[in-house]
């Protein structure tokens, strides 16, 4: 588990373990770096295999948020939180209000928002206990769900990659494999479909696939097959570490540009493999920063036009 050696190696300032018997809360908050300002980053709720997996995830995610905030020119540092639990069956008001108290106890060193497995309503419960939360509903003065803005940023970043690779930013007729049909994946697919791209989509949740296909047309492939499609662009838009020893040798893609965090299992090793294969890779902490920009804007009094610039 965590110790000073791990913190020093990863550059983290603080890791907080949060536990409450009454609510069933088990959470970890990681603050990576506050050089530029208070740490900001979403709260992820997942049914992790064990506490070590949760810790490794929150450490990687919070470090990525430091890069993301800096690359976006924001006066914030990197932080993240994970709640260990099944978001489909274990979410309730008490859980998130209890979590909000732990966030409040950090006195502004960490500002949270929604992430995988959490949503606007969950953040409104957190808001009942602390002001250090973003991504609440527009009705309450917030910016709402950041997913549409994240997806739009990925879409525009993908077009920039296309221009760099092929000299033209048009995605019409391009074959694009989108991994993940959740909130960001859904909005991204809509942008790509509307431009005329040919889409391949995969998700472990068939209900999400079905929902996406209500508004667009796409080829559905299995989660395993997505890495072997003949698509020109691969958009990882679910969980991280999908570019690894097992998958990378299957790639025939020319561009990788997606919304997932920590896409490279080993940043140095797998980054070099992509370079050697001639695959243009858009760093996740740059291309998927739209959601962060959106919620950070909320702290200044939300204006959508300013966030979308």
Give the residue numbers annotated as catalytic, written as ranges: 80
Cα torsion through 191, 194, 197, 202, rounded to 10: 50
- CA angle at 35 for the pair 262 and 111, rounded to the nearest 5°: 65
Phi and psi torsions of 214, nearest 5°: -75, -20
What Rg, from alpha-carbon coordinates, does the chain have? 19
- Helix residue spans in the chain (DSSP H): 4-10, 51-71, 93-105, 120-127, 147-166, 183-195, 206-212, 245-248, 267-276, 284-287, 290-298, 304-307
- 179: closest CA among 207, 205, 160, 159? 205
For the record, the structure tokens of 53 come out as 């997996």
Cα torsion through 241, 150, 256, 192, rounded to 10: 130
Residue with token string 């009942």: 128
For residue 268, count other CB atoms closer than 10 A to its CB.
8
Q: Are 273 and 216 in contact (CB under 8 A)?
A: no
For the record, the structure tokens of 250 come out as 């299957």
Cα 172 to Cα 50: distance, rounded to the nearest angstrom: 44
3-state secondary structure of 165: helix
Q: Are 198 and 229 in contact (CB under 8 A)?
A: no
- CA angle at 297 for the pair 293 and 298, rounded to the nearest 5°: 125
Cα 34 to Cα 129: distance, rounded to the nearest angstrom: 23
């Amino acid at each position: 588990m965590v110790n000073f050696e791990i913190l020093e190696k990863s550059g983290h300032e603080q890791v907080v373990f949060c536990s409450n018997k009454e609510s069933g809360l088990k959470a970890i908050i990681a603050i990576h770096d506050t050089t530029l300002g208070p740490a900001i980053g979403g709260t992820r709720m997942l049914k992790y295999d064990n506490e070590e997996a949760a810790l490794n995830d929150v450490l990687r995610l919070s470090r990525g948020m430091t890069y993301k905030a800096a690359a976006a020119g924001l006066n914030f540092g990197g932080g993240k939180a994970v709640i260990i639990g099944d978001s489909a069956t274990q979410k309730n008001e008490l859980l998130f209000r209890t979590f909000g108290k732990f966030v409040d106890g950090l006195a502004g060193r960490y500002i949270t928002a929604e992430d995988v497995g959490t949503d606007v309503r969950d953040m409104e419960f957190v808001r009942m206990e602390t002001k250090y939360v973003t991504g609440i509903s527009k009705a309450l003065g917030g910016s709402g769900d950041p997913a549409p803005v994240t997806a739009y940023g990925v879409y525009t970043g993908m077009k920039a990659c296309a221009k760099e690779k092929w000299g033209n930013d048009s995605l019409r007729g391009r074959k694009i494999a989108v991994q993940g049909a959740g909130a960001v994946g859904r909005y991204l697919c809509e942008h790509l479909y509307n431009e005329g791209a040919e889409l391949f989509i995969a998700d472990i949740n068939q209900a999400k696939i079905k929902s996406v296909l209500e508004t667009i047309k796409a080829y559905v492939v299995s989660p395993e097959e997505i890495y072997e499609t003949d698509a020109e662009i691969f958009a990882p838009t679910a969980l991280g570490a999908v570019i690894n020893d097992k998958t990378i040798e299957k790639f025939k893609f020319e561009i990788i540009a997606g919304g997932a965090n920590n896409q490279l299992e080993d940043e140095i090793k797998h980054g070099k493999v992509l370079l050697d294969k001639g695959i243009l890779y858009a760093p996740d902490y740059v291309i998927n920063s739209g959601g962060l920009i959106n919620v950070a804007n909320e702290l200044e009094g939300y204006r959508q036009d300013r966030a979308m610039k």
